Amino acid sequence: MSELPVLNKDIPSLAELHQAQLQKMQDDLELENPIQSLPKLACHYETIFIRDDGSILPCCNTWPEDRLVIGNIKDDNILAKLRDFDQQCNICGTCQLRKANQEDNINFRHIIVETSKYCNVNCAMCGHFSPYHTRTGQYNKEDLSYYYDRFLDLCPPKILSVLGGETLVQEHGLKWFTGVKKKYNDTYVELVTSGNVKPEVADAIDGCFDSILISFYGFQAETYRKVTNLPIDRVFEFSDILINQAREKVHLKYLTTPINFHESAIFLDWAMKNKPGWVVSHDCNTPYFLTMDLDEPYRICDSYPTHNKIPNNYWKEILHRTVRDIIKTLKENKEILEEGKTRVAYADFLFKWGGLTQELVDSHQLQNVTISKGTGC
């Protein structure tokens, strides 16, 4: 990955900050799941992440890790590089990466394509650092079509996820993926988008995807604007058009941050009443934002969620109150859940500190609600 700008000569770059976050996540996971007990898998034969420059990595958890670059989709010998790839990794906390052996076969369950870092949204917590990239990607439209199609022809996946940046404002990406579904009819094609685009784009992509995941970074207008630097109105309009076209294909995602997680319940209520296929909640490593020292804003503190000027129970109480509202909202929309057309999924990484567990959900006899392990990002 190209070197990211250093915001101040006395503090680390964003890449170094992200690496510190990843290391702390890995250290925390190792406390719960000793490395020795994790299964060893050739997981790069099942899932890969392709950066905007064509670099191939084992999964989306590993994309900042240059040491885990397997090769590039431009490489003529990319299948051999996949076979010979031999690096240690357990960033996800669920398995250990191992070298493939003769018994392993490439059978991609999931390929994630980052078409470009170019984006119209300027998210304060962007995990891909898109606001710090002025380039629009390494590929022109001919490159994208040729090299991606060539790679997918070699090993078409069961699921193909397309994301950015914001793919819907990238001309070259838009032209490529609008034809992907027709060519790879047996592949489940998913778009991940902020939805903050002109409403006519919704009509342009009709029929191009099996599912569209629209990410919300806040629900109240001022919160959303503070996080993204854009108004939220276009997202509502874009979502409404797609939901009217094919409700079951639309999934609404709430990405929690320190300034928006308390709005989770009002988002949940709005989303469920629209009856999309899924309503999901992921977390943007909120605990790591909460534990940053305000006097040294780029130093990660050692524990969650303490700060020498903020009492521990403040954030826990906000989390507990939010979880109570989430459960109340789920109960108020119980009939929608029982219909089975809309399902709800929460990653427990943040809300577990507020008491949101599968056991709590089940105790209220709430159907089609899943609490999964991890951040969900």
Render pLDDT for 305-347 as a digit per residue (tens, 0 to 9): 444 455 557 888 899 999 999 999 999 999 999 999 999 999 8
Q: What type of residue is 195?
A: G
pLDDT score recorded for residue 245: 93
Q: Is the peptide bond before 165 cis (omega within 30 degrees of 0)?
A: yes
Nearest-angstrom CA–CA distance, 248 and 364:
26
**What is the rounded CA–CA span in Å between residue 282 and residue 347?**
6
Is residue 366 over pLDDT 70?
yes
What CA–CA distance (Å, rounded) separates 16 from 24?
12
* pLDDT value at residue 215: 96
Q: Does residue 367 or residue 316 have the better pLDDT?
A: 367
pLDDT, residue 55, reads 92
Give 148's pLDDT tier (boundaries 50, 70, 90): confident
- Convert the chain into a string of H (helix), E (strand) and C (coil): CCCCCCCCCCCCCHHHHHHHHHHHHHHHHHHHCCHHHCCEECHHHCEEEECCCCEEECCHHHCCCHHHCCEECCCCCHHHHHHHCCCCCCCCCCCEECCCCCCCCCCCCEEEEECCCCCCCCCCCCCCCHHHCCCCCCCCHHHHHHHHHHHHHHCCCCEEEEECCCHHHCHHHHHHHCCHHHHCCCCEEEEEECCCCCCHHHHHCCCCCCEEEEEECCCCHHHHHHHHCCCCHHHHHHHHHHHHHHHHHEEEEEEECCCCHHHHHHHHHHHHHHCCCEEEEEECCHHHHHCECCCCCCCECCCCCCECCECHHHHHHHHHHHHHHHHHHHHHCHHHHHHCCCEEEEEHHHHHHHCCCHHHHHHCCCCCEEEECCCCC
Instruction: Say how far apart CA 258 and CA 285 lie, in whole Å.
Output: 9
Instruction: Report CA dihedral (73, 75, 80, 84) to the nearest 10 degrees.
Output: -80
Sign of the CA dihedral running 65, 159, 235, 329? negative
109: confidence class by pLDDT, cuts 50, 70, 90 = very high
Which two structure tokens, joined as six digits, stand for 137? 């990607």
Under 8 Å between Cβ of 56 and 78? yes
Q: Please, which pLDDT band fits residue 13 given cuts at 50, 70 and 90?
A: very low
Closest Cα to residue 239, out of 224, 257, 222, 229? 224
Amino acid identity of residue 202, one-letter, is: A
Q: Are 163 and 192 in contact (CB under 8 A)?
A: yes
CB 166 within 8 A of CB 234: no
- Predicted local distance difference test score (pLDDT) of residue 1: 36
Among candidate residues 280, 258, 269, the one with its CA nearest the CA of residue 346: 280
Q: Show Cβ contacts of residue 161 under 8 Å, excluding neighbours closer than 6 positions.
A: 110, 111, 112, 113, 190, 191, 192
Give the model's pLDDT for residue 139: 46
Higher local confidence (pLDDT), 32 or 340: 340
* CA 365 centroid distance within chain: 29
Res. 374: pLDDT tops 90 = no
Q: What is the pLDDT of residues 170-229, one digit of tens each?
A: 877 777 887 888 888 889 999 999 999 999 999 888 888 999 999 999 999 999 999 999
**Buried b / exposed e along 292-326 (16+ C-beta atoms within 10 A):** beeeeebeebeebbebeeeeeeebeebbbebbebb
Residue 362 has pLDDT above 80, yes or no: yes
Mean local confidence (pLDDT), 54-63:
89
Across 225-246, average pLDDT: 95
Residue 290 has pLDDT above 80, yes or no: no
Q: How confident is the model at residue 29 (pLDDT cuts 50, 70, 90)?
A: very low
Across residues 51-73, what is the average pLDDT?
A: 90
Do 125 and 132 meet the contact criterion of CB atoms below 8 Å apart? no
Residue 16: predicted pLDDT = 52
